[in-house]
Structure 1
């Protein structure tokens, strides 16, 4: 390694966790489960909602079994993405990637439900089993729901319908009602599957950030992103999706709070003002309607993002504070 490479390595390490020392002991899953309890005790939390993927879900299950008395309101999610599951099997130093079939997944969820019944026997508040996560696939979800029966409480899925954060046409998609309408088939499809089955499970969006790979600076952390966000929330309401988990509160360019300053981004205020809006037509979200009206009457206004993207976060906060003080809402448009 030459001098320049050493400098670059040092700079990269400063951006994240410190380098792992070669002789540092590898933690077991039991050690990791104990660490979760230590973190929660440090912050004095008595009720938590934990979400884990694959091995993470297993570690959270161990944690739940260990600290049941300390955290009686624990909600555990056994969330595993079915389309991109990584089942790590050591074979001569190689890793093997597999898909989990719907019938196998349903069988595993049923086994997990039985474990929960034994562990939480006699306890009123039992964990919710939330599955499967991952992107919606009609055939896979249909089979999973039919075969999981009453084992699952929530059927969840992920949505990143805007594509990659580096896409140059991201803003065009956000301001195109016809493009945003495309994901309605996902919401309606899952709703129909649940209605036609014997399950009492509810639909959740377990993760949604609009544009994947951390979004896009000055787009997903700017005012223009609210057109996508509010549209998704309204669509969730129309199609009986009970919970919408935004990716993320903090982290990436799509966080509701700035990653470094924790100053709220525009979507944070859009969420607060959502209660002031009412959609008059269930077949069209309010944001769709506003886009269509602006496109017909004042198309130039849809270019407002060209002026706003250069504003500092603090300036955006001042704008929203003024709007709130003046009791302004989109319902008054």
Structure 2
């Protein structure tokens, strides 16, 4: 596309599944002087930031608007403000608007990685931009990640949210995934619900038990969390405590017509073999229940999920 055949192109939006290197020798370094707006979005991880993305951007010398969204593997350092300035911003003297959402994933990273505050400091001289940074280190899985994005947030999804999530208001977001090696407490879910008022799909991946579960169960004044627009909830990779978090009507008010993925044994224990009143009200609202690790269901299960297609 950018090999000279469209040298009058001024606006170019790219939504690509994956960016990866090739064994072909491509030596196209011709400038693209007429290109004023460029958008690059890719959903999958890439290790081609330095070899493909940066050289491509260097050809866009007259760019005025740039929007980048990708997840990149790194081996030496995160993609931070210094990196973006040296590799992108300083090469685009006409750049007026830079919107980005970049997650760096660093496997086998050292434990003394830069903190969130360290990363935020690398953006301090970009005074016209509101930028959010978030750094996480996953000791068990032996990798770290750094998310940097311009605010307000424009994507429809926000993935891999951890306890480091700073909050905010994300009206565009419809899909969220939560993942951490530390437990999520009730206050965290309250922050998530308030930050994503139009949330439709929620996936929770966390095998750590809640620390404050017993205290929360005894607290009758605990604010009940509402997910008014939620359509799909995935708890299949969550600890049993999070089934209580979402099914107890003293903690969460689920919307009607909900589709849920759950581990059968976890649901069975939390609902006390599908007879517990505290979880009954939310279960009635489910219209599609997909259970993992179970193929034959007891007859009374349908009574507990009267509106659900069970599979």
TM range (shorter): 0.3 to 0.5
Which structure's residues are more often strand, by fraction?
Answer: 2
TM-score normalised according to structure 1 size: 0.32
Q: Which has the higher contact order (CA 8 A, sep 6+)?
A: 1
Which structure's residues are more often helix, by fraction?
Answer: 1
